[in-house]
Amino acid sequence: MSALAANRSRTLGLFTLGSLLGITITLGVLLGLNAISNGSDTANNTKSTAREGVNYSPGDVNRPNAKGTVDRERDLGLLKFLNQAPSAYERTEALYSLLLSAEKTMLTDLLKQSNNIGSEHLQHTVQAAIVQRFAAVNFKLALSTIESLPRDRHNPLIATVFREIALTDFDGAVAHAKTLDETKKFSALQGIFGSQETLSKDRKREVADELQIDLTVFEQSSPNQSFMEEWHALLADERANLAQSADLIRLAHKWVEDSGLEAIAHIDVALHDSILKKAVIGSVLHRALSSDAQATLQQVLHFDDDLRELALETIARAWASIGPEEAMDSIAAIETQRLRRQMLEHFITAWANFDPKEIFEKFDLIPENLRSLAQKNAIRTLAKTTPSEAVQYLEDVADELLRFDLTMEIATRWSDKNALEALDWALSLEFSSDPMDRMLERQMLDTVLRSLAAENPELALQTALEQPADRMGLGLEATVIDEVARTDIERAMTMLAQVREGFTQTFAAVAVGKALVDNNETDRALALAEQLSEDFRDMYYNLVVNEWAFSDPKSLVNNLDQLPSTEAKFTAAMDLVRRNVGTNILTKEQMSIVRSFLPKDYNSETGRRGSESAQYARLNSIRDKELTKEERTQVQRDFQQMMLDGRYRRYRSDYRWSR
């Protein structure tokens, strides 16, 4: 058949298909064409149209992101047009009618817009149809426009273009394919061969030779058409890919069997879900490792960065279950130092997760510069399952800060599993007078007693009372009461009578007061301050009022004038201003009331009173320098004053172990 005759037949076929739509759909198509093809002169008119009367299906269409307003409105043209069809059949019918008269400018825009279609099934269907029409109009422009799409769509669409060209001009398709780079030649050859199912072996070899492609290599590297069709069908259907993971893994194995591990790069590009990608690539690599571990590793080292990282993690997890000596020997064979270290880190982490005890039994196998990494991961793994066994390895950790963190990790995990056992362990330890040791002891007991308080509050309180207060005079019973108040306010109230005076009594009362505020018992919360000495009442009011400002700001606004002291009113007003920033939870009238209670030296830019600025400046300056005796005395006074003002809440988190 001549090229002219073939073109006439194809045009007649498309015309016949378009005529089936009828007058109504044709008018809709013309309106869609007009909306898409109109330029900037009609942008203002089409904006409202693009927004009205369109019910976007979340499964089929994603709104464009990271684009300007004009681009978004323009891109909605194709999406709106496709979404107007009441069924998939009518959508397909309308699409081909639209393409029947589309020329290169519109086809270019449509192909670019198609990238905003969320459903892979609909996106691939639309792109294939656009490219088929584009190939007939201007195949060179079609090929250049394909470059603007995501990389994973290039090869299949290039194959589609050349399949269309070869149907009407086989020799012309081959001639143009010769001008492409090697990767695109492969895709073009797939399309050319796909256009002629009856092409003889000799003719295929001639065409391959013209393109300087070895036919045997091409056929070996080209996936079997039947399973590749199934692969693409799975990715393109409307079911979630994660739900089809078993089928995708099966086909991925077939792909690698046919094309080698190089197929993993194509699998990586085709799969977008990170969980699914790890599952599929992980399964393929596990099988390859069982066949030839060394060869698999050497191939993986030549992958691109992100894919190599994923592959090395997968290999490391697989090797963790075999003898570490064998794994270390294989890693030692990696020539590049950076990749060798990268693989070692992955392996040690995986080994620590798989068998943490074996790491310590064979510790000499691990390079000295990676032993801290091994200890950290192995002890953390043990802390999750058997914290009592993790303890025995702490003494060998040379890094003081790492040992501190790991000890707290064990204390947290153990107290969550069995608070009594964790308490026995914590009390059995001997601590030096070193400040780091003292801080560790305090934080361990704070963590363990908090867990014990939830199970046995009386024992927790008694144990806390037996421990000395810290350098600020704060006893651990405040922590116990804080935990009890979360679930049993009345019991916490009765415990207050047993706590030590001063800061301990104040912070224990604050814990109960905050719980009362959260329970909408603000009158009882304010009355509780009467149990404290006058020196600590302002601190109590300030901290409890802060909780009130964040839990029920509108109620606090209505009760500002009922607060018992001027300082408490100042603090409440400042807390309400902070609460309203970014939330606008208070009305203009309520904020007007709040501002009337702000202190005269309040600075709206810093959110602080003038007297606070100097204190904060001194506190912030101590981080990186040694203090003189006079400076230390002044900082201590500042900090005490901040506590009395209730601003201790802003710094306390720096001194408590985060659970």
The per-residue DSSP string of 236-258 comes to: HSSS-GGGGHHHHHHHHHHHHHH
Flag whether 363 is in a domain. no
| Tokens, residue 245 | 């993971």
Flag whether 516 is in a domain. no
Flag whether 82 is in a domain. yes
57-71 pLDDT, tens digit per residue, is: 333 333 333 333 334
Flag whether 469 is in a domain. no
Amino acid at 263: A
Flag whether 340 is in a domain. no
How many angstroms separate the CA atoms of 295 and 318, rounded? 15
How many angstroms separate the CA atoms of 85 and 78, rounded? 12
Say if residue 194's pLDDT is above 90: no
Binned at pLDDT 50, 70 and 90, residue 556 comes out as very high
Flag whether 323 is in a domain. no
| Tokens, residue 572 | 């409440």
Report the phi/psi class of residue 434: left, alpha or beta, with left for phi > 0 and alpha for psi in -120 to 50. beta
Amino acid at 515: A
Report the b/e string of 225-244 with b at 16+ CB within 10 A: eebbebbeebbeeeeebeee
Binned at pLDDT 50, 70 and 90, residue 349 comes out as very high
The pLDDT score that the predictor gives to residue 4 is: 37
What does the pLDDT average to over 436-443? 92
DSSP per-residue codes, 82-151: HHT-SSHHHHHHHHHHHHHT--HHHHHHHHHHGGG---HHHHHHHHHHHHHHHHHHHHHHHHHHHTTS-G
Structural domain boundaries enclosing 55: 3-230
Binned at pLDDT 50, 70 and 90, residue 580 comes out as confident
What does the pLDDT average to over 274-296? 86
Beta-strand relationship, 602-603 and 608-609: antiparallel
Better-scored residue on pLDDT, 397 or 71: 397
SS3 assignment for 377-405 = HHHHHHHHHCHHHHHHHHHHCCCHHHHHH
Say if residue 468's pLDDT is above 50: yes
The pLDDT score that the predictor gives to residue 611 is: 58
- Global pTM reads 0.59
Domain count, the chain: 1
Closest CA to 475 of 488, 486, 462: 462
Say if residue 125's pLDDT is above 50: yes
The pLDDT score that the predictor gives to residue 2 is: 40
What does the pLDDT average to over 257-281? 85
What does the pLDDT average to over 622-650? 54
How many angstroms separate the CA atoms of 477 and 509, rounded? 11
Flag whether 19 is in a domain. yes
Report the phi/psi class of residue 502: left, alpha or beta, with left for phi > 0 and alpha for psi in -120 to 50. left
How many angstroms separate the CA atoms of 94 and 11, rounded? 17
What does the pLDDT average to over 589-597? 93
The pLDDT score that the predictor gives to residue 65 is: 36
Flag whether 489 is in a domain. no
Burial class (CB in 10 A: 0-12, 13-18, 19+), 224: middle
Closest CA to 385 of 352, 359, 362, 361: 352
Helices (H), 180-301: 182-195, 201-210, 215-221, 225-236, 245-259, 263-270, 274-300
